[in-house]
Amino acid sequence: MGKFFEKYKGILLFMFVYWCICFVMLFKEASFLYVMLSWNVLLAVLPLFFVEKAEMTLEQRKIGWSIFWVILWLLFFPNSVYMVTDFIHISNDKFMWLIEVEMYSADTGVVYSNEIMVWVKLLVIGIGFFFAILVGLESFYIFEQNIREKYSMIICYLAILVVALLTGLGVYIGRFLRFNSWDILFSPMQLLKQVAGIDGFAVQFIITFTIYVIGSYTLYRTFKKQSVLRI
């Protein structure tokens, strides 16, 4: 635990600052949204902790413990991608609207909101999402590097695809079925019953998010490699 805090103290400090921002927003707007955002950011950091533990136990040749931590990582990784769906909470906020203008007027008729808290809410959600997905993709990168060292490229790419697919499923379960990562342990039958009844939209949603995860990770991996080359 101490090594994790030392290695990622900057990330943990940012998370604490984000919590403080959410607390101020909670006091300002009295909206449970900011409690939820704080919680989601914490859940997004857990996969990084789990994959670090998996890597450490793997180096110590504690295979059983390594598998245990990888399973936890896989269960919690979707939380880092899930935060993109929090943008739905701005759906009732009005950022712009149209007004009637005279013909040939230089005015476009577009009016943007000058309610600052509407824009602040958007930015708070955006920062939380940006933080969560970066932390999550870093954990994904660590996972991939360990797979790459021990298995073939085909196995590595297959693992990426499976993780992305399960992440899409996890996001759907969290957003639409309203289950949490730990419900697979505490409410497995209810969860399986709900998953068994998914419809065509669910399949489309899962495939879309699978592509989104692969695309996001590919972009992250590209930037990661470029930064390493420059060093």
C-alpha to C-alpha distance for 51 and 117, rounded to whole angstroms: 37
**Number of residues that make up the chain:** 231
* pTM tops 0.85, yes or no: yes
Confidence of residue 97 (pLDDT cuts 50, 70, 90): confident
Question: 173-211, pLDDT tens digit by residue?
Answer: 999 998 988 888 888 888 888 888 889 999 999 999 999
Instruction: Specify whether the CB–CB gap between 137 and 217 falls below 8 A.
Output: yes
Amino acid identity for residue 193 in this structure: K
C-alpha to C-alpha distance for 231 and 228, rounded to whole angstroms: 5
User: Is the pLDDT score of 104 beyond 60?
Assistant: no
The 10 Å Cβ neighbour count of residue 29 is 13
Question: 110-167, pLDDT tens digit by residue?
Answer: 788 889 999 999 999 999 999 999 999 999 999 999 999 988 899 999 999 999 999 9
C-alpha to C-alpha distance for 39 and 181, rounded to whole angstroms: 13
> Which residues 6+ apart lie within 8 Å of 108 measured at CB?
101
What are the boundaries of each domain within the chain?
2-230
Tokens read off for 155 = 């196995």
- What number of CA atoms fall less than 13 Å from residue 96's CA on the CB side? 6
Burial call 97-118: b when 16+ CB within 10 Å, e when fewer: eeeeeeeeeeeeeeeeeeeeee
pLDDT mean over 24-38? 94
Tokens read off for 225 = 């490699």
pLDDT mean over 54-80? 94
